[in-house]
Amino acid sequence: MNDHSLCQVEAVAGRNFSISALRVVSAFAVVMIHTAADVIINTTPFTANWWVATFLSSTSRFAVPVFVMISGALLLKPASDDNSICFYKKRFLRIIVPFLAWIVIYMIWVFSFPSVKDISFKHISWRLVTGNVYYHLWFLFLLPGLYAFTPFLRSYIRHSETQERDRLIAAIFVFACAHSMVNNFFFENETSFLSMFVPYIGYYLCGYQLSVRDCFCLSVKQSLIALIAVVMMMALGTGLLVRTVDVDRGQWLFDGVSILTIPLSILVFRLLYRKGQFKFQEHRIAVMIEKIAAASLGIYLVHPLIMSILDKTVGRSFIASYSLITIPVSAMFVFTVSFAAIDFALKIPILRRTVS
C-alpha cells in the first residue's frame, strides 16, 4: 500500500459512517426504483412478476426523501459565520455546473429518440419549467428552492423550540400528503420548479431534527418491524388502488409525500443515522463506503443512461420475465457500472464538477 492509500485509510477508518451509508443506500434505492418501474409499467398488473416489482419498488421509495433529509441534517445547522450571501454563493456555484451539464445531456438524449418530434422552443421551455427534462432530473430542480430558503430556516431553528419544530414538521407533512392525494385523484396539476420543493421542506427540517434529537421511542427491532409493515402496506395498498381506480392513479402510495412514504423515509433515516452509527474498522470497507458515497450524486445522474443501454442489450421483456432475480441483479449491475463511470469522472478535473 502506497503512502497516499495509507493516509486515505487512516483518515476514514473508525469514523461514523451513518451519512455515507445513507447516501449509498439511497443511491442504490433510486436505481432499484427505476429498474422495478420498467417492469411495473410493462407487465400485466397482478401477475407474479408485477407483484415482485411492486414490493421491490415499495422497499425503495425512501430514496429521494432520505437524500433531502441528509441535506437538512448537514445544511440546516445554524452557522454564525455563514451569512445568506456566503451560503447562496457557495451552494449555487456548486450545483450550477451539474445542473446545466446534465440538462443539456438529457435534452440531447431525449430529442434523439425517434418518437420525440417536437423540438420547438415552447416544448423545451415546458420541460424546463416543469422540471420534466428526464424522469429523474426533477431532483436537480428541487434543490435550488430548498437552498433558497435555507438561511431563513436556519434562523427559524435558532429561535424556535424543539416541540414547536416537531409540530411544524408534522403540519407540513399533513398538508403535503393531503395535497398529493387530492392532486393525484382529482386534479393532476402540472408541477413547476418554482414550487416542487415546498412539500419536501418537511423532510428537510426532519433531517435536521433527527440529527440533533431522537424523538421516537422505538428500538431497532421495533423500527424494523414497523419498516416491514409499512412496506407491506405500501405494496398491498398499491395493488388495491390499481384494482379500484387505474394503473396511473393507483400508484399514489409511491409518491414522495404519500401517507406511507413519509414514515418509511423517517424510519430508514432514523435506523441508519440514529441507530446505525457505523464505524468500520476494516480499512477497505471504510474507503469503499466513502468512495461510493462521494459518487452518489453522479450515480443518481448517470444511471438512466446505463439502464437504457442495458434495456437495448438484454431487452425489457427478459428483465420482466424473472423479476425476483433479474430486477435485483440488473439494479446491482447498473449501480456498479454507474459507480465505475463516476469514479473515473471524479479523477478528471474537467468532469469532476459535473458529478459532485
For the stretch 276-315, pLDDT in tens is 555 555 567 778 888 999 999 999 999 999 998 888 777 6
Percentage of the chain surpassing pLDDT 90?
Answer: 56
* Low pLDDT (below 70) residues in the chain: 1-16, 80-82, 114-118, 274-283, 315-318
**Would you state the cell numbers that stand for residue 160, as one nine-digit string?**
424556535
Other C-beta atoms within 10 Å of 329: how many?
A: 13
Q: Is 19:70 a contact under the CB 8 Å cutoff? A: yes
Res 299: pLDDT: 97
Residue 311 C-alpha from the chain's centroid = 22
**Would you state the cell numbers that stand for residue 300, as one nine-digit string?**
443518481
Other C-beta atoms within 10 Å of 166: how many?
A: 15
Mean confidence (pLDDT) of the chain = 87
Assessment of whether the complete model's pTM goes beyond 0.85: yes
- Cβ neighbours of residue 276 closer than 8 Å, sequence gap 6 or more: 18, 21
Residue 174 C-alpha from the chain's centroid = 21
Other C-beta atoms within 10 Å of 78: how many?
A: 14
Report d(CA 239, CA 50) in Å as an integer.
Answer: 10
| Nearest C-alpha neighbor of 193 from the set 142, 147, 135 | 142
Report d(CA 72, CA 165) in Å as an integer.
Answer: 13
Q: What does the pLDDT look like over 197-237, one tens digit per residue?
A: 999 999 999 999 999 887 777 888 898 999 999 999 999 99
Residue at 163: amino acid letter: Q
Report d(CA 138, CA 162) in Å as an integer.
Answer: 31
Return phi, psi of residue 193, to 5°: -65, -15
Q: Is 70:143 a contact under the CB 8 Å cutoff? A: no
Q: At what angle do helices 84-111 and 296-314 cross, to 10 degrees?
A: 10
| H-helix segments, the chain | 3-12, 18-42, 48-59, 63-75, 84-111, 121-130, 138-158, 162-182, 201-212, 220-244, 261-269, 283-294, 296-314, 316-321, 323-345, 349-355
- Cβ neighbours of residue 6 closer than 8 Å, sequence gap 6 or more: none
Q: Is 39:323 a contact under the CB 8 Å cutoff? A: yes
The domain limits of the chain are 68-231
Report d(CA 174, CA 176) in Å as an integer.
Answer: 6
